[in-house]
Amino acid sequence: MSLFLIRRRVDQIVIDMSNAYAHNDRRKLTQLLPQVKGHVLEPWAAYWELRVRLGDASDGEVKEFLNKYAGTYQEDRLRNDWLLVLAQRQEWNPFEREYALYRMHDDKDVECYANWLISSQKKFEGTSAQEEQIRRTWLGLRNADEGCTYAFEQLLLAKRVSSLDAWRKARSMVEINRKPPARDALHMVSGQSMAKLDELMANPQRFLQQRATSLGKETPEWITLALVKLAANDQSAAIKFIQNNKLVKQLSTEQLQWVWAVIGRQAAMDFDSKAVEYFQSAGNGQGLTDDLLAWMVRAALRAEGVPRWSMVEAAIEAMSPAAQKDPAWVYWRARALIARQPSSTTAMPQALMALQSIAGHQGFYEQLALEELGQKISLPARPAPPTAAELETAKANPGLQRAVHAIRIGLRQDGVREWNYTTGLVDGQGKRGRLTDRERLAVAHWACELEIWDRCISSSERAVQFDVNHRYPMPFKEEVLSRTREINLDPAYVYGLIRQESRFIINARSNVGASGLMQVMPRTAKWTAKKIGMKSFQPDQLNQHDTNIAIGTGYLKLILDNFHGSMPMAAAAYNAGPRLRQKSIEQRHHVFGHHHGRAAVAQSQVRKSRATRKS
C-alpha cells in the first residue's frame, strides 16, 4: 500500500475517533487509539480517548498525558477539563497547582472556581476584584453552570454579595425563558417551591391575576418576576396591569424600574416609538443589565426628532466597565458629550480623548471615530512581506501543522481551536506567551497560501501591522468579477458581504440553515433562482462556490434595486428573505442600517480600489 493511501486510512481512523468522541463511545476510542500512533493528530486522538473517561481516570494517567503532550493545545485543554473535575471534588490543593500551569483561561467555570479559592484562602481580605469578577460573570451567564453558581452562592452565604443580585439574575433568565439558571438563582434566595416558577413561566398573566385577588399574600420579588415575564410576552398587557392593579404598589422603585426597562426593550425591538418613554420610567439605568442598557441606548438614538443624548450618556455610564470599553459605546458616549455640552471646557476634551482612544482603521466605530476627529480614513502602508525564514518558521510550528491537517480532513472546528490557541496564547516555541507581530504576519501569509481564508483574516487581525491583502483577501476573483460585471454590482460591495457572512468558507452553514459563501437560505435560493432564470437549481448546489455566488449576488441585486441602489439598506435587508414585506425591511434598516449595513459598506470601501483596478 502506498504511503498516500496509508495516510488516508489513518486520517479516516482519526475522523472515526472524532465521531466516537461526539457519541461518547469509550470502547471504540480505546480500540482505535493505538492505530493513530505517530500521526500528526495523535494528540487529538489521545485527548478524546482520555476525556470521555476523565472522571474515572487516575492522577497518574492525567499527569502522563500532560507530560507527553506538554506545550500543545491538547495539554491545556485537558488541564482545563481536569481542573473542573478537581473543583467538583473540592480537591483544592491539586487544583491550585494545576491552575498555576493553565494557559487558556477561557473557561468561565474554571475562572470562577479559581477566584473563589483566592477569596476563601485570604478570608476575603483584599479580594474585592475576584469577588466582583465572580459576580459579574455569574450575572452574565445565560446557561446553567456549576462553577460560577457555586462561587456566587458561597459569596452570598458569606454576605459578600447581595441577594438582590440573585433576584436580578432570576429576572433576566425568566425574561428570556431560561428556566434552569433562573431556578439556580431562586434556590439561593427563595424558600418557595420551584413549582411556583413553573406556574409563572407557563402563564404569567394568570399568575398575577390569581395573586391580585389575595393582596399581601405574594412577595414583591415574585410579582416582579411575573411582570418581567408578562412584559417579555405581551408588553401591552404588562403596561395595563401596572396602570390598573393595586398589586403593583407593593413593588419597590428598583423593581418597578426594572419592569419598565424590560417593557422598553421589547418596545424597541418592535420598533415602537414609545420605547424612549418606557425607558424614561426605568430611571437612570443603575442596576440594569448591560443588555437592557444597550437597548436603552438604541431606543434613545432612534428617538423621533433628535436622539435623547442625556439618556444615551446615562445608559452607557450605567454599563459594566467591560461593556463601556466596547468601541460602539465609547463612540456614542463621546457623541453624547459633544451634543449635550458642545462648549464645555471639560466635556469636549473628554469626548476627544475617548474618540482618540478607539480611532483607527480596524473596525466600523473606529473609522467613525476617525471621521468625527476630522481625520481621513486611509489604508496604512503595507508592511514588508514575510521573509523566507519567517515563513519556514510558521510552517514548522507543530500546533499550526495539526490545525491545518485537521481543517483539511474536515475537522474544521478542532483545527480552528488549535489555530487560535497557537496564534494567540503561546509563543513561537509553544511556551506561554504571544507570537511576535512579524510571526503573526507570516502565519497569516501562510494561511492565505493554503487558501484557509478565515484563518488568514483572523491571524491578520491579531497583527498590529496592517496588510490589506491578508485582512481583505479576494478569493474566487474570476467568478465574483465576472458575475458583478454581468449584473452591474460593485465587486467591493459583494466581497464585503461575503467576508462578513462566511469569511470565504465554502461550506459554511449557520444555525438557521443558511449555506455557502454568501449564506443563502434554501428557500431564498429557490425564489432567487426562479427570478434570475437559473433552471434545474437544487439546494445542495449552494455549497458549490460558483452557484452560491450566482444566487447570492442575484438576490443582493434584487434587494438593491428595490431600495433604489441604497447599499446600507440592501446590506441590512440581505437576510430578511424574499417574503418579508418592504415595511419590515425598512424597519430592519432603522435597527441595523447604521451598524451592519454601514459596516458592510465600510468594509467594501477598504478594498474597492483594488477590486475595480484589477477588474
Of 503, 479, 471, 492, the residue nearest 567 (C-alpha)? 492
In this prediction, residue 431 carries a pLDDT of: 66
In this prediction, residue 611 carries a pLDDT of: 40
Residue by residue, DSSP assigns 358-418 as: H-SSSSHHHHHHHHHTTPPP-PPPPPPPPPHHHHHHHHT-HHHHHHHHHHHTT-HHHHHHH
Of 163, 46, 53, the residue nearest 402 (C-alpha)? 46
- Compute CA distances 459 → 373, 439, 566, whole Å: 29, 10, 32
Residue 506: exposure state from Cβ atoms within 10 A (0-12, 13-18, ≥19): middle
Question: What percentage of the chain reaches a pLDDT higher than 70?
Answer: 91
User: pLDDT tens digit string along 10-67?
Assistant: 999 999 999 999 999 999 999 999 999 999 999 999 999 999 999 999 999 999 999 9
Neighbours of 236 (CB within 10 A): 13
Would you say residue 595 has pLDDT above 80?
no
3-class SS of residue 70: coil
Would you say residue 614 has pLDDT above 70?
no
In this prediction, residue 379 carries a pLDDT of: 83
pTM: 0.87
Residue 426 phi/psi, 5° resolution? -135, 160
pLDDT band per the 50, 70, 90 thresholds, residue 607: very low
pLDDT (mean) for 579-591: 43
pLDDT (mean) for 512-534: 92
Q: What is the enclosing helix (H) or strand (E) of 279? A: helix 275-280
Average the pLDDT over each of 202-216, 276-290, 425-439, 574-588 and give the range with the smallest value. 574-588
Query: Distance between the two ends of the chain, CA-based, in angstroms?
Result: 47
pLDDT (mean) for 241-265: 94
Question: What percentage of the chain reaches a pLDDT higher than 90?
Answer: 77
Would you say residue 78 has pLDDT above 50?
yes
In this prediction, residue 427 carries a pLDDT of: 66
Of 78, 105, 185, 102, the residue nearest 141 (C-alpha)? 185
Residue 509 phi/psi, 5° resolution? -140, 130
pLDDT (mean) for 431-438: 81
Q: What average pLDDT does the structure give for the chain?
A: 90
pLDDT (mean) for 568-591: 58
d(CA 342, CA 28): 69
Q: What is the enclosing helix (H) or strand (E) of 449? A: helix 437-449
Contact assessment for residue 20 and residue 44, using Cβ atoms and an 8 Å cutoff:
no
pLDDT band per the 50, 70, 90 thresholds, residue 511: confident
- Compute CA distances 264 → 98, 271, 325, 494, whole Å: 46, 10, 24, 36
pLDDT (mean) for 262-270: 95
pLDDT (mean) for 252-271: 96
C-beta pairs of 66-71 under 8 Å, 24+ apart in sequence: 69/43, 71/426, 71/429, 71/430, 71/431
d(CA 120, CA 107): 20
Backbone angle region of 181, left / alpha / beta, with phi > 0 → left and psi within -120 to 50 → alpha:
alpha
Backbone angle region of 508, left / alpha / beta, with phi > 0 → left and psi within -120 to 50 → alpha:
beta
Residue 442 phi/psi, 5° resolution? -65, -40
User: pLDDT tens digit string along 153-163?
Assistant: 999 999 999 99
pLDDT band per the 50, 70, 90 thresholds, residue 215: low
pLDDT band per the 50, 70, 90 thresholds, residue 212: confident
User: Cα 531–571–565 angle (5° rounding)?
Assistant: 70
pLDDT (mean) for 541-561: 94
User: pLDDT tens digit string along 87-141?
Assistant: 999 999 999 999 999 999 999 999 999 999 999 999 989 899 999 999 999 999 9
Q: What is the enclosing helix (H) or strand (E) of 586? A: helix 582-592
pLDDT (mean) for 172-177: 96
Residue whose C-alpha cell reads 491583502 in the numeric block: 469
**Which is more confident, 602 or 337?**
337
3-class SS of residue 92: helix
Half-sphere exposure of 575 (CA within 13 A, CB side): 17
User: pLDDT tens digit string along 444-466?
Assistant: 999 999 999 999 999 999 998 88
User: pLDDT tens digit string along 359-392?
Assistant: 988 788 999 999 999 998 888 889 999 999 999 9
In this prediction, residue 591 carries a pLDDT of: 39
Of 334, 339, 327, the residue nearest 351 (C-alpha)? 334
Of 65, 255, 285, 237, the residue nearest 167 (C-alpha)? 255
In this prediction, residue 216 carries a pLDDT of: 63
